Structure 1
Amino acid sequence: MSRHITSAISQIFGKFANKEFPKPIQDFINSSYVNIMGLDMQEFHTPQTYHSLNALFTRKLREDRVYSLDANDFISPCDSLISECGALNNEVSLQIKGMRYRSYDLLGEHFTKEEKEIVNNGTFINFYLSPKDYHRYHIPTNLKVLKAVHIPGRFYPVNMPSLKKRLNLFIENERVVLLCETASKKRFYMVLVSALNVGVMQVAFEPKIKTNADILQSSAYSYDNLYLNKGDDFGCFEMGSTIVILAEKNMLELDVKSGENVKYGQTIAKIS
């Protein structure tokens, strides 16, 4: 697969976002972005604190949020809009209403048929992070990571207009797929999907994964004892993007609906 123009655009934007301009200019860039995009900075440091636009994008909370420690409560991994959610029809899920795609294709080639089949007739949730959202992502429940797969691809926008006109957008874009197992042995996938201007998707526990790089082949990493706790910060998007969760049948009882805005730490489902 050759490099796509969307990758070049994202790399150029990434260089601009990472550049540290003289402080008066950087302060102007940061403040302008906050005002134009309507960022809510109440839980963060002031815009002038950040030495680059990317540092502002990937800002951390001053204090972690309070969330349920009940093992059965599944929390939102991010601040986002639920662009679509519901039941998987066999292994078919919705990009948005009327735009279906095959979950098996989203997961890629490094998972066995048996591993993919766990999502048949299961549950899916699509989280859209806009450019104004908090860009870090967190672990939704105590879990064990069984496998991580990096799938290079394109960088089409994942906003609502793009979702409405481009079939299989999630499948075309670069992504990182995590196969996870809960403490109760339930399995689900967490899929990080790139977007235009997303220079990097960070995965803190696997430094070998380099996104939006000159890598054309997918790669897989397996783990025996990689345990992460609910609320753990395990990386970020360097701009807005999408997270897709695909859960096995009868694992999640959803407490959210399509079109709802959610916050990291909010309980969005019960683990059955």
Structure 2
Amino acid sequence: MEEAIEPDMRFYPSLNSFFRRAIRPEVRPIDMNPKAVVSPADGKVLHFGKCKNGLIEQVKGVDYSLKRFFGRWEETGFTMQKTSDAQFAERLKVHSENELYQIVIYLAPGDYHRFHSPADFTITSRRHYPGGKKKF
């Protein structure tokens, strides 16, 4: 709580507002070097590596298809019905020699729960990706 802008827990009207509490800017200075990799959130890295055959590995103990994870792409020219997971992953690359990587960051209840972007942008839509134990 010593990192929070408002350290008094009584200030937060709900558990949600507590988890999303703002911290003092000097607590997490962001490396502005354009070659630096900056995490969007606090947490513990559980898994990282290359995406293989169009799959994201070890998200909540389950492998996920990138094609299914990103959702419906018909509106942007992708046709999912005739595209395998591996083909879909290849089509995501700007250059064929690039690789796709993924990282799973676990946020424990005591971790800072705000997310930060390394890019300046405006969110125009959002989508909920439910968890669970079924194959995605």
| TM-score normalised by the chain length of structure 2 | 0.67
Give the letter for the 1:57 counterpart: F
8 Å contact 1:43–1:63 — kept in the other structure? no
Native 8 Å contact 2:67 2:88 kept in 1: no
Deviations 1:25-49 (A, max 9, x none): xxxxxxxxxxxxxxxx220112123
Instruction: Using the TM superposition, give the Cα deviation of residue 154 of structure 1 relative to its aligned residue in structure 2, in angstroms.
Output: 4.0
Among 54, 76, 83, which residue is 1:91 paired with? 54
Q: Which of 119, 122, 130 is matched with 1:142 structurally?
A: 119
More strand by share: 1
Deviations 1:196-222 (A, max 9, x none): xxxxxxxxxxxxxxxxxxxxxxxxxxx
1:128 maps to which residue?
106
| Cα distance in 2 between the residues matched to 1:94 and 1:149 | 25
Q: 1:101 to 1:84 in 2, by over 3 A?
A: same
Structure 2 residue runs of 5 or longer lacking an equivalent are 79-86
**One-letter amino acid of the counterpart of residue 108, structure 1:** G
Matched, 1:71 2:47: no
The corresponding residue for 1:118 is 92
Q: What per-residue deviation string (whole Å, max 9, x for no partner) do you get for residues 105-131 of structure 1? A: 100013543985225841111122122
Deviation at residue 144 of structure 1 after TM alignment: 5.2
Q: Report deviation, 1:61.
A: 0.3
Higher relative contact order (CA 8 A, sep 6+): 2
What residue is the counterpart of 1:182 in the other structure? Answer: none
Q: 1:151, 1:142 → 2: CA distance?
A: 19
Aligned identity (percent) is 25
The whole-number CA distance in structure 2 between the counterparts of 1:122 and 1:83 is 18
Structure 1 position 132, deviation (Å): 1.8
Q: Structure 1: which 5+ runs fail to align?
A: 1-40, 157-165, 172-272
Tell me if the contact between 1:81 and 1:128 (Cα under 8 Å) persists in the aligned partners: yes
Give the superposed CA RMSD: 3.1
CA–CA separation in structure 1 for the residues paired with 2:59 and 2:115 = 22
> After the TM superposition, which residues 99-114 of structure 1 pair with which residues of structure 2 at under 5 Å, given as runs?
99-110=62-73, 112-113=77-78
Q: 2: distance between equivalents of 1:97 and 1:153?
A: 12
